[in-house]
Amino acid sequence: MSDDRTGPSVLQLAEDFPPVPTELWEAAIRRDLKGADYEQTLVWRTDEGIAVRPYYRSKDLAGLEAQTATIPGHFPFVRGSGADWEIDEAGTIKDGAVRADLVLEAGGNCVQQLGIALADGVERLTALTETRSIEAAAREIDFVFAIGSIYFFEIAKLRAARMLWTRVVEQFHPADLAACRMNLHARTAQINKSDCDPHTNIVRATTEAMSAAIGGCDALTVQPFGFDEHTAINIQRVLAEEAHLNAVADPAGGSYYIETLTASLAREAWKLFQRIEAAGGYTASLGWLAEEVARSREAREQAVWQDQPGVIG
């Protein structure tokens, strides 16, 4: 840049804004806490058992190179298909789809949605490969996820879902790794909507649709709840045509928080999937899985009752 009064000058960003070591950030935080417990004050422990830190840095991506070094549309597909998501106005769900959305509507958390969907998908895939190739079988399976209001978790959930599905399909040794790409249909949730507050429903549906688009869904349905279908369709059109959320592939890619959260959800969901497999698979585990989801819903409802008496949603 130049200054007519002093002559040419050059911005020295590296010198003017040197990197700040993590130790200095931590020291500043502890001073501001004035003796308050760091873990209890700043670390959010979620229903999924994940500890969310107050901030993340590049060092938090250590060991996640297989996840972060890929590009959209390529194996392991954590960064999406590389194609634009489609507006599904009708909300058509394919017969035989893996209905992870129903786990959310029943009160299940993100890890339960992922682990149960993965087990269901593997059981279906195993059955299909008895009569056709792994490539043909994998293409037949669709996954449907409902998107809730915990914005960043919902983004990471879809990224983790694709990464996990890639991991299991790869074990069937497809000749074409494109068979590992998940067919992912997202829809906005209903469990958190209220007949008495259509305007809040619209806001929630919009942020949920944003999470789905940023998370890399293939198709998106905004379900009207207290508002008309025209508004539901327009939410998607605004996000695609005015906010341009379909113009950038994987806009969350490289975010220290999102990448770390993706890995955390995938890790915990894989543990649940292993428990299901050890218990005999998806169908054999439906009883105790329903009990765990019910406990998750009860805990969430209790938390809502404590914060907002008389309101569940």
Domain that holds residue 202: 72-297
Residue 237 covered by a domain: yes
Q: Name the DSSP letter for residue 178.
A: G
Residue 263 burial (C-beta neighbours within 10 Å; 0-12, 13-18, 19+): buried
Q: List, run by run, the mean pLDDT of 10-residue segments along the chain (313 residues).
A: 56 82 94 95 92 94 92 93 90 92 97 98 97 96 97 97 97 96 97 94 97 96 95 95 90 94 97 98 98 94 68 40
Looking at residue 300, its pLDDT comes to 87
Looking at residue 309, its pLDDT comes to 40
Residue 48 covered by a domain: no
**pTM exceeding 0.85:** yes
Looking at residue 310, its pLDDT comes to 38
| CB 136, CB 91: distance < 8 Å | no
Residue 100 burial (C-beta neighbours within 10 Å; 0-12, 13-18, 19+): buried
Cross-strand pairs, 86: 219
Residue 61 covered by a domain: no
Residue 118 covered by a domain: yes
Cα–Cα dist 98/305, whole Å = 32
Provide the CATH number for the domain around residue 286: 3.20.20.240
Residue 34 covered by a domain: no
Residue 248 covered by a domain: yes
Looking at residue 305, its pLDDT comes to 80
Looking at residue 61, its pLDDT comes to 94
Domain count for the chain: 1
Residue 233 covered by a domain: yes
Cα–Cα distances (Å) from 11 to 16, 244, 286, in that order, read 8, 32, 62
Query: Taking the chain, what is the end-to-end CA distance rounded to the nearest angstrom?
Result: 54
Phi, psi of 125, rounded to the nearest 5 degrees: -65, -40
Looking at residue 293, its pLDDT comes to 97
Looking at residue 313, its pLDDT comes to 42
195's CB contacts (< 8 A; 6+ apart) are 225, 226
Residue 198 covered by a domain: yes
Looking at residue 267, its pLDDT comes to 97
